[in-house]
Copies of this chain bind each other. A is one copy, B any other.
Amino acid sequence: MKEIRAEIIAIGDELLYGHIVDTNSHWISQEMSLLGVKVVRRTTVGDNRLDILSAFKEAEYRADLILITGGLGPTQDDLTKPLLAEYFNAEIIEFPEAVAAITDFFKRRGRDMIPANILQGHLPACCTYVPNEVGTAPGMWFERNQTYWMSMPGVPHEMKKLMHDFVIPKMAEIFDLPVIEHKMIKTVGIGESWLSDLIKDWENALPKHIKLAYLPSLGHVKLRLTAFGDNKDRLKGEIDDQINRIFPIIQKYIYGYDAETIETAIGKLLKERNETVALAESCSGGFVAHQITTVAGSSEYFQGAVVPYHNQFKSSIVSVSPETLANHGAVSEETVKEMALGVKNLFQSDYGLASSGVAGPGGGSAEKPVGTVWISCAGKDFVKTKKLQLTQDRLLNIQLTSVALLNLLRVCITQEGE
């Protein structure tokens, strides 16, 4: 089978000047890997005619598929569209369907258009217009000598939607995509090297056509299994087999598979049990509530949260006794325990979660340095607490507290692990 080679071109001075991070190229890389398409190069160029044209030319030499993001805004410094027209030797003409879609987009949002928006519906004559339902810059698809091009806006959610709705289905039509099967095992509460040590015998015994990748992220490690072959069902079966073998070894760290997140996993657990949760967040400042409520349908099991950022509100709203605060301080096992119990009572929930810590950069002491965090989970007939010693970085501390607190809830619900 012919290897399919893709290139990614990101366009924008703001990327080269380091004013914004190019998350698109990374995301597209991941999607291509999942499809078994080889990304051979990623290029970032600025808003400059010659640089963009040379990137087009070089990519056309090498790749079967060229995915371009950025440079499609309505302003004068956006060059992608006119340069694609120049490169393909095409006129820019009105695509009435595109103009209608843009007009409709503004109408639906109750916003007025300016003439530059109308011009976003004028495209190189040789391209296929690809509707962008969530933004004003249309996608453009080009074909020449069996090389395929897609130009997309740089706004991540617009690009992703165009990739899923149009590019990926189109790729399946055009290319003889290899047969690949993936499965991601999601773990939390164990570091990469510890995990690697635990599963090394299993890993060494994997057959050659099944590959393992460790994908660590904040507080999590994902294990990705990729099987190559020619029969999707057989590959699926082989991967399930391998998971059955590894499961008993790392069961207590596994919270889910594939697209599952720890938030969705917790949602599933609570819904199955018809139980609810409420939060008292001090150092995590509302981030855990945010994580939980990003999940659609979370109102079924999420009762609510309080962020009592000062001691007086820990008492007046969440019922922590002033003596506890005076004797042990806000960042203490005693306080976080009472917060968990108090918020569980306030919201009449089955579980109460609480966090209190020194997020930093200020507020640390010799006894409780920056990064000291207490978390707690109160359930029907128990209160669990845990002390974390995190980093010097405020945002990181907030994020790591959130992962630890959600994992503590998971452990309390399932009565597994720790």
Contacts and interface: CB of A to CB of B under 8 A. Distances in A.
A145 to B, nearest CB: 20
19 contacts: A18-B33, A40-B46, A113-B193, A114-B196, A116-B193, A155-B216, A281-B289, A286-B286, A287-B290, A289-B290, A290-B398, A293-B398, A294-B394, A296-B361, A299-B309, A303-B313, A304-B317, A305-B306, A306-B306
A74 interface: yes
Interface residues of A, number: 105
A83 to B, nearest CB: 15
A171 to B, nearest CB: 16
Interface string A44-58: 111110010001001
Interface stretch (A23-31, A123-131, A228-236, A248-256): A23-31
A80 to B, nearest CB: 14
A228 B74 CA distance: 25
Contact of A293 (B46, B215, B294, B309): B309
Interface stretch (A9-17, A267-275, A376-384): A9-17
A169 interface: no
Nearest 3 CB-CB pairs, A to B?
A286-B289, A285-B293, A18-B30
A22 B28 CA distance: 13
Given A304-B309, A306-B305, A313-B303, A296 B191 contact: no
Nearest to A136: B193
B286 A307 contact: yes
A212 B73 CA distance: 14
Interface in A286-337: 286-290, 292-294, 296-299, 302-310, 313, 317
A191 B19 contact: no
Given A296-B360, A394-B294, A398-B294, A192 B309 contact: no
A74 B310 contact: no
Contacts of A303: 309-310, 313
B134 A214 contact: no
Interface string A107-127: 001111110110000000000
B73 A215 contact: no
Given A14-B213, A58-B58, A394-B294, A45 B51 contact: no
Contacts of A42: 15-16, 42-44
A304 B339 CA distance: 14
Given A18-B32, A47-B213, A304-B308, 9 more contacts: A17-B39, A41-B51, A77-B213, A287-B293, A293-B309, A296-B362, A302-B309, A304-B307, A305-B305
A224 B224 CA distance: 41
Given A191-B111, A308-B304, A389-B109, A51 B43 contact: no
Interface centre among A19, A157, A184 (most CB of B within 10 A): A19
A365 interface: no
Nearest to A203: B76
A165 interface: no
A43 B46 contact: no
A215 to B, nearest CB: 5
Contacts of A47: 213
A395 interface: yes
A214 B75 contact: yes
A215 B33 contact: no
A294 to B, nearest CB: 6
A377 B271 CA distance: 34
A217 B158 CA distance: 12
A351 interface: no
